[in-house]
Amino acid sequence: MRSFTIPTHYRSDLIGRLKAFRKAQDPKKKDLSPTVLDLGPVRFVFARHFGFCYGVENAIEISYKALEENLARRIFLLSQMIHNPAVNDDLTSRGMRFIQDTHGQMLMDWSELKADDIVIIPAFGTTLETEAKLKTLGIDPLKYNTTCPFVEKVWNRGAQLGTQDYTVVIHGKAAHEETRATFSHTAKGAPAVIVKDMAEAQELGRIILGEVPLERFAQLFDKRCTPDFDPAKNLQRIGVVNQTTMLATETQAIADHLKQVMAKKYGDDDLKQHFADTRDTLCYATNDNQDATNELLKAEADLALVVGGYNSSNTSHLVELLEHKFPTYFIKDETEILSAATIQHFNYPAHKLETTNDWLPSFDFAQDGRPITIILTSGASCPDTLLDRVMLKVLGFVEGVKDPVEVVEALVQ
């Protein structure tokens, strides 16, 4: 897999070395066991996979290349290039402006753009309608297109399903940029419907089986299906694709459930005529990060810190996995750690910041040798440098810790 040129301030001197060490040891990613950094009174447990993925590094490289190549031109980001405030803030500090917010609402008028302006498409991609709008303004939307190749893979699979007369069921969050883009590209050649979770997939299954009236489809999916969608006709042949940052296990479970529904209705012998196998649209990075996080659940730890943008879907799913076992705090960076007694963190389901006291345990390490054990990981759009800063902030609250530089050096040697 190719390497990317990204600014050095996103590269980590500590955790980055641990990741490189594990990669050299296990290039085929067969060992998902976590990495333990023993600092005496504190131990950090790192997932085997976390942080920038291929698509994010690709997007960052293209964005900074656009800055270098267009010093005299105005550069706009269609929307947040990735879901991480540190990266987006750095780009805007260099003169870039956002055209839309993450929900597609305009932050400026299209008329403000000129034909010689540069517009960067985010890693999530964009809709065909937005591409067409930029072209009418004389702007090439693909010149600096940072759309993740794995998102484009989903679009290609959706297009293929359309040529085979399948309806595409998209597992995703309807308001998310990637799902809006995938829906737009899919709708060009196939009927499509968006389901957000297993509960909706089960309801769709009941509609297919005739267990509930067809009118139920309009009640649930009217705003999330292609125009003139006919459930009586368009649900006879289906295939499932996903927003690449969803829980991979949930996407697979939804596909398996709908496959069983179609087998029940049409029989196993005729199943291939009614259900398309699409498991190859699952993103490798999402799979790797989630598999590595599941491996963390085997560890013994006092708490977990998950670092990433609050609107990062893939990060929220890591939180969802870890909070089944550990007190888990979703933070954007080290500034959320207010003190050894107080932490500010994001409640993703409620979409609000919360403050928790007594979050960091205090043990007498000298007396009983009991270290504080903290799981530390991040989403696919989070720079490793932020994890360095979070780790160092925590270490500043504990007496007698070993020098992390020396410990990392000893470990990789």
Q: What is the pLDDT of residues 205-230, one digit of tens each?
A: 999 999 999 999 999 999 999 999 99
User: Catalytic residue at 178?
Assistant: yes
pLDDT-derived band at 103 (thresholds 50, 70, 90) equals confident
Summarised one tens digit per residue, pLDDT across range 18-68 is 999 999 999 888 899 999 999 999 999 999 999 988 889 999 999 999 999
Phi, psi of 292 (to 5 degrees): -65, -35
Whole-number Å distance between alpha carbons of 248 and 284: 10
Locate the domains of the chain by residue range: 8-53+285-412, 54-136, 151-282
288 pLDDT more than 90 = no
Confidence of residue 313 (pLDDT cuts 50, 70, 90): confident
- pLDDT of 369: 82
Q: Are 49 and 55 in contact (CB under 8 A)?
A: no
Cα 401 to Cα 380: distance, rounded to the nearest angstrom: 29
CATH code: domain 54-136 is: 3.40.50.11270
- Is 291:283 a contact under the CB 8 Å cutoff? no
The reply to whether 8-53+285-412 and 151-282 are identical in fold is yes
* Range with the poorest average pLDDT among 108-112, 145-149, 286-290: 286-290
pLDDT over 80 (residue 84): yes
- Is the Cα dihedral 18, 19, 20, 26 positive or negative? positive
- 273 pLDDT more than 80: yes
CB-count burial class (<10 Å; 0-12, 13-18, 19+) for 189 = middle
The correct answer on CATH 3.40.50.170 for the domain covering 151-282 is no
Q: Which one of the listed residues 131, 177, 178, 200 is annotated catalytic? A: 178
What local confidence, expressed as pLDDT, does residue 283 receive? 75
* Model confidence band, residue 236 (pLDDT cutoffs 50, 70, 90): very high
Query: 254 falls in which pLDDT band (50, 70, 90)?
Result: very high
What pLDDT, in 10s, does the model give residues 121-173? Answer: 999 999 999 999 999 999 999 999 999 999 999 999 999 999 999 999 999 99
What's the chain's average pLDDT? 93
Give the Cα separation of 387 and 44 in Å (integer): 11
pLDDT at 1: 62
pTM: 0.87
Q: pLDDT-derived band of residue 363, with 50, 70 and 90 as boundaries?
A: confident
Lowest mean per-residue pLDDT among 275-284, 295-304, 372-381:
275-284
Is the separation of the CB atoms in 375 and 301 below 8 Å? yes
CATH class of 8-53+285-412: alpha beta
Q: What confidence category does residue 77 fall into, taking pLDDT thresholds of 50, 70 and 90?
A: very high
